[in-house]
Chains A and B, each alone.
Chain A
Amino acid sequence: MDVSARPRVAMRGITKTFPGVKALDGVDFTLQPGEVHALLGENGAGKSTLIKVLTGVLQADAGTVELDGKVVRIGSPAQAQDLGINTVYQEVNLVPTLSVAENLTLERQITRFGLVDWKKTTARAEAALARLGIAVDVGRSLGSCSLAVQQLVAIARALDRETRVLVLDEPTASLDAREVERLFSVLSDIRARGISIVFITHFIDQVYAIADRITVLRNGRFAGTGPVAEVPRMRLVTMMLGKQIESDFAARPTADSIVEGATPLVAAKGLGRSRLMQPIDLSVRAGEVVGLAGLLGSGRTETAKLLFGAEKADQGRLEIDGEAVSLKSPSQAIARGFGFCPEDRKHDGLILGLSVRENLILALQCRRGWWRQLSRAEQDRLAGEMIQALGIATPDAEKPVGQLSGGNQQKVILARWLLAKPRFLILDEPTRGIDIGAHAEIVALIRRLCREGLALVVASSELEEIVAFSHRVVVLRDRRKVSEIAGEAISQKTIVEAIANS
């Protein structure tokens, strides 16, 4: 590729500050005509913010955007579209109940005498899809089409107007392998027409399958860029995680606590669910911490949910104490002594309207059953104990939990499960959004719990903490298990290698 040519887009020194957070700090990003440019980074790296600046959703505090050599000011999504910058978001933002044709002509309906001209509408929709090589009955409702077709319709809609830049925000997140292939062949065609594509994804394999160049962001800063051929996987993963790979900060946990025995407490054998997670083998013994490592979107959360029965497995089996069980719902898992702290605590964890006390006692109350209510005095005592033990910062236990800070909300969920005294605890990103002090407390807590004989599976994007508390590490990539590392072999370096190597 002729990199010396005038870039299609040149963003320079883009800075954007939100209250308390510097989301972007002097980031540069250049996009050449007719290339697929992968934009990568972990959560909070600034990908979305950068894209929002490019598409006019947000205004940068500092920095310039050049489009084909001219400095432009993009004040709104409508202006971005007028400039030929079109976006397809992760969640298809079309109307599922309308037909494909209606979706394609939604805000520019073709009318005749003030009425919709259905003949022309249909013809235009068919033409727009034909350009992408898609044959679909445009009269069908969009919701009845497969996700891949919906995604392609969204792209066709974006391309239906003058397009210089097409932004795809995780277009493959919910597609299967065949659908991804189809999407990629369409993307190749679009690229051949000279349109520049920004491709945001978490799937490393897909980056190498379709992208021409890569730019990596980390913590709101530019972390590196280059042609795909010059960025080997290992370097890419290191860039994304940004770790000093040799510095293991804390002592490794000792294996004393692990209960040696014939049968593990929990064992998944080929447990999987189509479209969600490839079959996985995983076992954990009492007093053992198994870490789930992998990049964002690698299947950490999916694995956690499968183990807990929050997603029903359609392949393989789960054994508890060597006995095969089928978990149809979380309550069955909880009845067997499981606990689960979800990643998305606002949506899956807390009951925001209820008080800290009510949120704390919820899991324990569930295990007791609804008719054996914990007395108010008992509730106050347990809530008080937990608030103190985990250092939850709240003026009193009656405060609505929605008014606490993120770290304290996380502690509430953890405390909720600790009160229920589980045998097996699944933690999904237990330290997300928690300040440094609380972070160390949680890691210490995980170690303490496993010394007390709990079996734990902890999914985390923080390699440092995975290394600090795991007896074994299961490494995931692209929704499947790629490696398992045990004991002394666990280090950030070995994990990163496992993530990177095919």
Chain B
Amino acid sequence: MIPVTPPPTETAARPPREKKSLPSFVWPLMALATILVIVGLIEPAFFSIRIVEGRLYGSLVDIVYRGTPIMLIALGMAVVIGTSGIDLSVGSVVAIASAVMAHYIHEGWDPASVIAISLAAGLACGLWNGFLVAALGIQPIIATLILMVAGRGMALMINGGRIPTFRSDFFSFVSSGSIWIIPTRLFLVVGVALILWALLRRTAFGLFVEAVGANPSAARLTGIATRTVTLGAYGIAGVCAALAGLVITGDTRSSDAVNVGMWSELDAILAVVLGGASLSGGRIYLATTLLGVLIIQSLTTSILMTGLPPEYNLVVKAVVILAVLLIQAPKLRIQVANLAAAFRGRGAK
């Protein structure tokens, strides 16, 4: 059995915080293993991995391969959720990056410039969200809803109302090619995860994000530039979503502004939560977020594999995800108790 994407060693750098509590990756990993084992029992061919035309093929490879766009989006989402925010606009940012990419490929730009301008578009979207949240104080869910709605319209305008197609050997290689026998896009995800990990854990940015998410008032009084930190978090989410847009568009060789990245924000949020993060912020888990994406993707793929009618897909997915979330409930209970204690402390004053 081939191991799934090597998770960045985030958990190794941060020892468990409470005595006797398991490392944060245990529950999502167990959930993923359980799903894979059950599917494997029903359909033994699930685990078979072959090398065809010099690259890996098989259901497990397929899960990782198809999961990469959401992985990219979810990594950025994890940072935003760490600030106790949320970004609903990532799906539309995917569409914008996709449209920008198609446009400049048609303009004849070289791949490096196309990548640069597409990512810049994603960054601009993220900073816009961050501006609404941090500077204007709009609630994140509303602030990002604006771009969620407007973004697809902007992408449509860039595309001129059509679905432009293109040929680009470079982007085909990045998206659906492989280096040796391993899909290229996996390197991209691992690379982004490592860069983010370094940014969060090898600078103080991660600590500041978590401080802002856990207690904005205290963070401000300690001197953290809370607005800048929030702005940065949304900027990261924008760039990550744009990267996902490049990967998806490179694969389809067309920019469908109406459908590309549709509902990806919900999968990304779900992946972050499955990874053990709380929507109330204060903690960022990159490695388990990736596991969360794999859980979601392996459900989708395995439902198709086991021959369950596709119309059951969404319901089964919902039931399994609810179960996974409930498994993590003891942790939730501790958090609730902590919150209640903090609240009582404040109320008694």
Contacts and interface: CB of A to CB of B under 8 A. Distances in A.
SS of B interface (majority): helix
Contacts of A352: 214-215, 338, 342
Given A346-B342, A373-B204, A366 B223 contact: yes
A150 interface: no
A370 B220 CA distance: 14
A373 B215 contact: no
A346 B18 contact: no
A310 B18 contact: no
B219 A351 contact: yes
B20 interface: no
B218 to A, nearest CB: 5
A329 B220 contact: yes
Interface stretch (B40-48, B137-145, B205-213): B205-213
Interface string A348-392: 111111110010001101111111111000000000000000000
A418 to B, nearest CB: 13
A335 to B, nearest CB: 8
B222 A366 contact: yes
Contact of A354 (B210, B220, B221, B345): B210
A75 interface: no
A33 to B, nearest CB: 33
A331 B224 contact: yes
A370 B282 contact: no
Contacts of B15: 398
A266 B219 CA distance: 24
Contact of A353 (B208, B214, B341, B349): B214
Interface string B301-315: 000000000000000
Contacts of A108: none
A362 B220 contact: no
A178 interface: no
Interface of A: 308, 310, 329-331, 334-335, 340, 342, 344, 346-355, 358, 362-363, 365-374, 398, 400, 402, 416, 420
Contacts of A349: 218, 221
Interface of B: 15, 17-18, 202-205, 207-208, 210-211, 214-215, 217-225, 229, 282-283, 338, 341-342, 345-346, 349
Contact of A331 (B18, B214, B225): B225
Contacts of A308: 221
Nearest to B208: A370
Given A354-B211, A358-B207, A373-B204, A347 B282 contact: no
Q: Which of A335, A347, A372 has the most CB of B within 10 A?
A: A347
11 contacts: A329-B220, A347-B215, A348-B217, A348-B218, A351-B215, A352-B214, A354-B210, A358-B207, A363-B222, A366-B223, A420-B223
Nearest to A417: B222
A370 B221 contact: no
A308 B221 CA distance: 9
Contacts of B225: 331
Contacts of A369: 204
A340 B223 CA distance: 10
Contacts of B282: 351, 353
Contacts of B349: 344
- Looking at A308, A329, A362, the one whose CB has the most chain B CB atoms below 10 A away is A362
Which of A308, A350, A352, A369 gathers the greatest number of chain B CB atoms within 10 Å?
Answer: A352
B203 A362 contact: no
A56 B346 CA distance: 21
Contacts of A368: 204
A383 to B, nearest CB: 13
A351 B210 contact: yes
B6 to A, nearest CB: 22
